C-alpha cells in the first residue's frame, strides 16, 4: 500500500494522508516528480513503459517519474524514482528543479540532472520499465509526433532550459561567506549613492544574512556555469510570493539574466497567485524592467532618507505557469 502526503492548493503540507488508488478529494494535492537526465552530448536518457502500465502503456517517457511517497520531499522522490526504475544513484547535486506543473490533483516537479550514465550500468525495474536509451531533442520530438513518446506540452520549455546559459542552484549555509561578499559588492554603488545606512544590503550582518537560508528559497544564479548573482524568494502569505532580493554582478549585466530568472521563478511556484517586490523609486532602469515583466505599482511608499524612497510593485496576472502536462 502506497501512501502520499496531502498538500493544499498553496503547496502547504497538511496532516492528512492519501492512499494511492483511492479518489482524491477536491482541493487535495500530492507531489509528483519527473526526472530528465541529460549527458555531456546533450542526449536525454529515456525509458519505455511496460505495455501493461496504466496510462501511456508501451510509450517512451522521461528518465524516471512517479509520486512522492509519505515523507518524501521533491529531491528525495527524484532520487528514489531513479534508483527504483533505473537502478542508478542520481547525482542530485548536478540537478535543478526547472519548473513545476500544477495539475488538478498535484504538483509535478520537473527535474533536469546533468549526469553521464552507461546503459550497461542500468538495472531496469521489470514491473514498470521495458527499455532505456539515449536520445537527442530531435529524436524525442520525432517520437512524440509518431505517437511513440508521451506528448508532454512542456517540450519547448524543457529543451530551451536544458540549453540555457542561465541556471538556478539552491544555495546552502556553506555558501554564506561567498554570497554575502557578492551581495555587498553588488550593492556598494547604491549604498554610496543614497547614503543608506538603514536598509542597504551592504550593512547586513552575517547573522541576519544567514536567516534567509531558513525562510523561503535562496538560489545562486549561474551564467554559463559561473556564479553571477543570487536571488531570494519566500511566501509572504498564502498565494503571495515575495521576490525579496535579486543581485547580479556588474560584469554580467545586459545578458537578460534578471528577466529570465524572474520568469523561471514564476514557473517554479505555480501555487502563487501574485508576486511582489520593493525597489528604489529613482532607479528607473529597475522600474522599467519590473514594469516590462508585468509588475504594477501598488502605491505603497517608504521613505528611507531624503534621497532614498522605496516603492512596492505587484504582479497578479499573466504569470508564467504550466497548468497541465
Q: What is the DSSP string of 54-70?
A: SSSTT-EE-SEEEEPPT
Q: Residue 280 and residue 289: Cα distance in Å, rounded? A: 12
pLDDT digits (tens, 9 = 90+) for 18-42: 999 999 999 999 999 999 999 999 9
Q: Which of 221, 219, 125 minimizes the C-alpha distance to 172?
A: 219
pLDDT digits (tens, 9 = 90+) for 39-81: 999 999 999 999 999 899 999 999 999 999 999 999 999 999 9
pLDDT at 244: 97
**Residue owning grid cell 529613482:** 282
**Whole-model pTM?**
0.95
> Would the pLDDT of 324 be above 80?
no
Residues of the chain with pLDDT > 70, as a percent, come to 100
Would you tell me how many other CB atoms lie within 10 Å of the CB of residue 239?
Answer: 13
Domain boundaries 3-162, CATH class? alpha beta
Mean pLDDT of 251-273: 97
pLDDT digits (tens, 9 = 90+) for 80-133: 999 999 999 999 999 999 999 999 999 999 999 999 999 999 999 999 999 999
Instruction: Tell me the pLDDT band of 185, cut-offs 50, 70 and 90.
Output: very high
pLDDT at 274: 98
Domain boundaries 166-315, CATH class? alpha beta
Q: What are phi and psi of 38, to 5 degrees?
A: -125, 140
Contact 167, 96 (CB under 8 A): yes
Mean pLDDT of 258-287: 97
Contact 143, 135 (CB under 8 A): yes
Instruction: Tell me the pLDDT band of 294, cut-offs 50, 70 and 90.
Output: very high
What is the domain partition of the chain in residue ranges? Answer: 3-162, 166-315
Beta strands at 240-248 and 274-280: parallel, antiparallel or unpaired: parallel
Q: Residue 132 and residue 37: Cα distance in Å, rounded? A: 12
Q: What is the mean pLDDT of the chain?
A: 96
Instruction: Tell me the pLDDT band of 323, cut-offs 50, 70 and 90.
Output: confident
> Would the pLDDT of 325 be above 80?
no
- Rg for the chain, CA atoms, rounded: 22
pLDDT at 178: 98
Strands of the sheet with 226-237, listed across from one edge: 166-170, 217-223, 226-237, 240-248, 274-280, 309-315, 296-303
Instruction: Tell me the pLDDT band of 198, cut-offs 50, 70 and 90.
Output: confident
Instruction: Tell me the pLDDT band of 145, cut-offs 50, 70 and 90.
Output: very high
Instruction: Tell me the pLDDT band of 1, cut-offs 50, 70 and 90.
Output: confident
pLDDT at 202: 95
Q: What are phi and psi of 269, to 5 degrees?
A: -125, 65
Mean pLDDT of 194-200: 89
Contact 129, 122 (CB under 8 A): no
CA distance to 3, 202, 234, per residue, from 72 (Å) = 11, 38, 21
290 Rama sector, left if φ>0, alpha if ψ -120 to 50, beta otherwise: alpha
**Residue owning grid cell 487535495:** 28
Amino acid at each position: 500500500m502506497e501512501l502520499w502526503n496531502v498538500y493544499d492548493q498553496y503547496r502547504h503540507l497538511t496532516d492528512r494522508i492519501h492512499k494511492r488508488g483511492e479518489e482524491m478529494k477536491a482541493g487535495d494535492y500530492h507531489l509528483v516528480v519527473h526526472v530528465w537526465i541529460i549527458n555531456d552530448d546533450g542526449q536525454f536518457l529515456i525509458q519505455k513503459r511496460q505495455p501493461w502500465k496504466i496510462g501511456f502503456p508501451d510509450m517512451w517517457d522521461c528518465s524516471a517519474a512517479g509520486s512522492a511517497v509519505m515523507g518524501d520531499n521533491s529531491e528525495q522522490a527524484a532520487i528514489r524514482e531513479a534508483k527504483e526504475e533505473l537502478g542508478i544513484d542520481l547525482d542530485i547535486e548536478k540537478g535543478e528543479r526547472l519548473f513545476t506543473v500544477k495539475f488538478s490533483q498535484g504538483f509535478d516537479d520537473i527535474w533536469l540532472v546533468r549526469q553521464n550514465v552507461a546503459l550497461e550500468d542500468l538495472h531496469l525495474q521489470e514491473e514498470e520499465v521495458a527499455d532505456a536509451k539515449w536520445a537527442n531533442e530531435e529524436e524525442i520530438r520525432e517520437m512524440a509526433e509518431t505517437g511513440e513518446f508521451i506528448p508532454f506540452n512542456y517540450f519547448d520549455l524543457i529543451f530551451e532550459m536544458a540549453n540555457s546559459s542561465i541556471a538556478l542552484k539552491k544555495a546552502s549555509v556553506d555558501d554564506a561567506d561567498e554570497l554575502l561578499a557578492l551581495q555587498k559588492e553588488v550593492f556598494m554603488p547604491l549604498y554610496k549613492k543614497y547614503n543608506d545606512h538603514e536598509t542597504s544590503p551592504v550593512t547586513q550582518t552575517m547573522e541576519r544574512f544567514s536567516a534567509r537560508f531558513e525562510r523561503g528559497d535562496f538560489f545562486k544564479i549561474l551564467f554559463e556555469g559561473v556564479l553571477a548573482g543570487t536571488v531570494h524568494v519566500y511566501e509572504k502569505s498564502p498565494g503571495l510570493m515575495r521576490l525579496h532580493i535579486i543581485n547580479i554582478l556588474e560584469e554580467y549585466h545586459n545578458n537578460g539574466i534578471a528577466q529570465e530568472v524572474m520568469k523561471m521563478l514564476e514557473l517554479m511556484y505555480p501555487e502563487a497567485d501574485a508576486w511582489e517586490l520593493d525597489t528604489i523609486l529613482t532607479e528607473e532602469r529597475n522600474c522599467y524592467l519590473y514594469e516590462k515583466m508585468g509588475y504594477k505599482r501598488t502605491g505603497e511608499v517608504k521613505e528611507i532618507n531624503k534621497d532614498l524612497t522605496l516603492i512596492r510593485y505587484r504582479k497578479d496576472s499573466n504569470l508564467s505557469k504550466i497548468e497541465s502536462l
